């Protein structure tokens, strides 16, 4: 079972932004690869801390995590850090240490801060996937064709002459406080440390060309409209020895003909006639797993809610399934023929047709309360 992000950083759920940043900095210093050379467990802890910080330091991601737990990011939802590598961590969170924040003795972020080569990352791609309510309820796998940039065959690179392959340019300036040294990404190679040597005619200035690829995307049950899935490494390639970007997949929920979703629960409006309400009936209704037949008891009142347990949506966080709430509506005919009118006129004063609610009959507000509980 995946470790809780708050537990990784040693925090409570009510931690402030400043406390999260401070806790991450402390963990990163403790488990930094330069401080623990060859220690695979320390490197793993370092990655865990970065993953936890990436989610908890972002308000939107933190809200999703607090609501759905790790399921919100399993498979990449919302851009969670599960697929981060050391390059991602160093490039994204290096500034949290404020330059010399580590104190003396560290060579920088895995060879980045001390003038080492910085691997460029390709750009992300974004697509939208429309899902039916049935697919959302049960989970699905989609195969999507993606047009992405890949390194063109025959492209070769050479060391950047500006930064000599380091990916950074160091500048020394004189100030009133003394000589100051600063490092910034090389503008010639974009921080990759390499430049195009040879490339085919159909490649762009970075040595990349378009290629169509079929990507398989596993979508867990219970996702919601607007959620985002990240498929690591399926974006555009980076030039040289860089890492590929990610494919970001936005989830779109298609409207259902007869079912309405509310969280993990589903709602269905069942319309029955006066006769069916008085005599009872057996009706077939839609669910996300197919049609089912339900029994409507005789004497049912309009507004009655029938609860079919476990016929709703699988919970994204693994907490069972929601219910299907069937709302019974007794349909009043708008026009009557002469014979029908005579019947209802005779029944107008009949004692059995007079409203006589029992104490056990719930009010509208009680029904609403039950529906949300």
313 is annotated as contributing to ligand binding: no
What is the dihedral sign for C-alpha 109, 115, 117, 121? positive
What is the dihedral sign for C-alpha 223, 224, 227, 228? positive
186 is annotated as contributing to ligand binding: yes
Burial of 194 per CB tally in 10 Å (0-12, 13-18, 19+): buried
Q: 343: Cβ–Cβ under 8 A, 6 or more apart, which residues?
A: none
> Could you count the other beta carbons within 10 Å of the beta carbon of residue 345?
10
Binding-site positions read 160, 163, 186, 189
Binding-site positions for Zn(2+) read 160, 163, 186, 189
């Amino acid at each position: 079972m995946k470790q809780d992000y708050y537990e990784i950083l040693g925090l409570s759920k009510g931690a402030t932004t400043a406390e999260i940043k401070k806790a991450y900095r402390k963990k990163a210093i403790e488990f930094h690869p330069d401080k623990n050379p060859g220690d695979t467990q320390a490197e793993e802890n370092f990655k865990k801390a970065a993953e936890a910080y990436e989610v908890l330091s972002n308000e939107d991601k933190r809200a999703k995590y607090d609501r759905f737990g790790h399921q919100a990011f399993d498979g990449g939802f919302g851009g969670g850090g599960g697929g981060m590598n050391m390059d991602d961590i160093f490039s994204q969170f290096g500034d949290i240490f404020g330059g010399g924040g580590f104190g003396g003795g560290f060579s920088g972020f895995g060879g980045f801060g001390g003038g080492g080569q910085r691997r460029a990352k390709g750009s992300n791609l974004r697509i939208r996937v429309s899902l039916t309510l049935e697919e959302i309820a049960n989970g699905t796998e989609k195969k999507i064709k993606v047009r992405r940039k890949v390194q063109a065959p025959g492209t070769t690179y050479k060391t950047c002459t500006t930064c000599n392959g380091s990916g950074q340019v160091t500048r020394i300036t004189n100030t009133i406080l003394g000589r100051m040294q600063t490092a910034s990404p090389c503008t010639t190679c974009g921080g990759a440390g390499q430049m195009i040597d040879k490339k085919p005619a159909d490649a762009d200035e970075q040595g990349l060309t378009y290629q169509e690829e079929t990507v398989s995307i596993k979508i867990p049950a219970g996702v919601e409209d607007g959620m985002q899935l990240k498929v690591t490494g399926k974006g555009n390639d980076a030039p040289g020895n860089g890492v590929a970007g990610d494919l970001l997949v936005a989830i779109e929920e298609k409207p259902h003909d007869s079912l309405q979703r509310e969280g993990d629960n589903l709602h269905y409006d069942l319309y029955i006639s006066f006769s069916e309400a008085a005599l009872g009936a057996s009706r077939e209704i839609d669910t996300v797993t197919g049609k089912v037949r339900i029994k409507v008891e005789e004497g049912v009142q309009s507004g009655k809610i029938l609860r079919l347990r476990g016929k709703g949506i699988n919970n994204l966080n693994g907490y069972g399934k929601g219910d299907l709430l069937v709302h019974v509506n007794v349909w009043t005919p708008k026009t009557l023929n002469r014979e029908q009118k005579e019947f209802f006129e005779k029944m107008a004063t009949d004692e059995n047709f007079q409203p006589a609610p029992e104490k056990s009959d719930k009010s509208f507000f009680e029904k609403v309360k039950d529906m949300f509980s």
